[in-house]
Amino acid sequence: MSPVGRFSLVLHTHLPWVAHNGTWPVGEEWLHQAFTGSWRRVLRVLEGLAEHGFSDVVTLGVTPVLAAMLDDPYCLAEIHSWAGRWQLRAEELAARPGFEALAEHERREAVACLEDLQRRWLTGGLSAVLRPLAEAGVLELLSGPATHPFQPLLTERFAAAQLATGLAEARLRFGSRPGGIWAPECGYAPGMEDFYAAHGVTHFLVDGPAVRGDTGLARPVGDSDVLAFARDLDISYRVWSSRTGYPGDGSYRDFHTFDHASGFRPARVTGGAVPSEAKRPWDRRLAAAAVLRDARDFVAAVVRRLTELRDRHGREALVVAAFDTELFGHWWYEGPQFLDAVLRMLPQAGVRLSTLRGAAEAGLVADRIELPTSSWGAGKDWRVWDNDAVAELNDEIAHVQKRLFSLLDSRPEHAGRSAAADQLVREAFLLSSSDWAFMVTRDSAAGYARQRARQHAERFAALADAIESGVGADALAAELRAVDGPFGRLDARTC
């Protein structure tokens, strides 16, 4: 029987560089929680599917800056320490009446995480875990610019340096360079397809409104052969929506309610208007039943959508559902179980799982399209990263780009590699992360974002001054490298 169509799950895995830059309540704790609560659990789901013969299952975007952290011995050791404290907290909770079941669940999860870390993560990092899944064809990896900048607001030369560094990092860590990228924030400006083509990029993501909702097939952009895949909002928002998405169901574990003495979340959502103190205890059996119910509902919606698209186009079509990976496990505790259920149910319902690369190879491509300026942020335009609240930050990034290339271009033509110049590029990259503007605009840990941006700007300025004066640049670069040290093979001569 011919499949009703194809389904592509695209997961975007990212955090800004947080190593050595704050711990709690923001900073390295983000990395520890996202790894233990989400990323490791999602990868275990994919490994379980691989063991049952699944292939071409998911398209996984991993930003180069995150890959650098999850290959970094310091970051992995800190995650291991955090997981050890997780186990201790669970054992302490077991002594409190009424918390025995939760304590035992958390203890088991912590022990499993520690064993996994000790068995493979501490010795091989993310590269050793992901490469076998990619080589076996279970997943397609997407890369992107080094520190996840909002590309449309950058100069082309700086954007090129970011992208080239990111793609080189992916080749180094995963053995081959991905053809596709997750365009940071799905940010697009007309003409970027030619920029991508020049860097060997074959496909990228945009949000549904960029193609006016016609998301059922990939589209070549402009006069290029670069394909744009668009997120199906109707399907994605069944999970993603903060108002109507599945994670808000009363049976699921409530993200916002804490037992502050232990740091664990003991309650279920119960109801949207129910105050934290009145929420009912989390019940794993109720949550498991809700997972199966919602997975069936999601699969039925995908089948309806694909049937509609097949009737409209007269051919097999595609549904692309794209999410931040952290939604599954961190924000929505039961999310990994939901993914596992959906990915097993879809083939049984006549839907073929497919990576974006697999969909392109199968010819699920429509006519050419001219894309408008767009993003996947609020308003589907650039307002989150380009507004009055972040105007000063954007001015600083523009100034740093100008000064960076002025300094690099002033070096003798045949000068050798310079650790100071490399670190100058590194600080400029870290300053331009799109996370800082997002956090300021959304007022989400805005103080930390402003502090981090200011620190990188100050570190850049101090190092640039040292390079220009010829005094102390190498020593300062070594000091900064110990704090801001991703992308070891970054070479300023190529920028």
Residues with a known catalytic role:
185, 324
List all residues 6 or more positions away from 56 whose beta carbon is below 8 Å from its beta carbon: 137, 138, 140, 353, 354, 355, 358
Compute CA distances 459 → 23, 50, 148, whole Å. 20, 45, 19
* Residue-wise burial string across 401-410, b where 16 or more C-beta atoms lie within 10 A, e elsewhere: bebbbebbee
Residue with tokens 């999601």: 298
The gap between the terminal CA atoms of the chain, to the nearest Å, is 52
Bridge partner residues of 10 (DSSP): 59, 322
Give Cβ neighbours of residue 397 (< 8 Å, ≥ 6 apart).
Answer: 153, 154, 431, 432
Q: Answer for the pair 106, 264: CB distance below 8 angstroms, yes or no.
A: yes
Could you give the 3-state DSSP secondary structure of residue 18?
coil
Give the distance from CA 279 to its chain's centroid: 31
Pair of tokens at residue 175: 């053995």
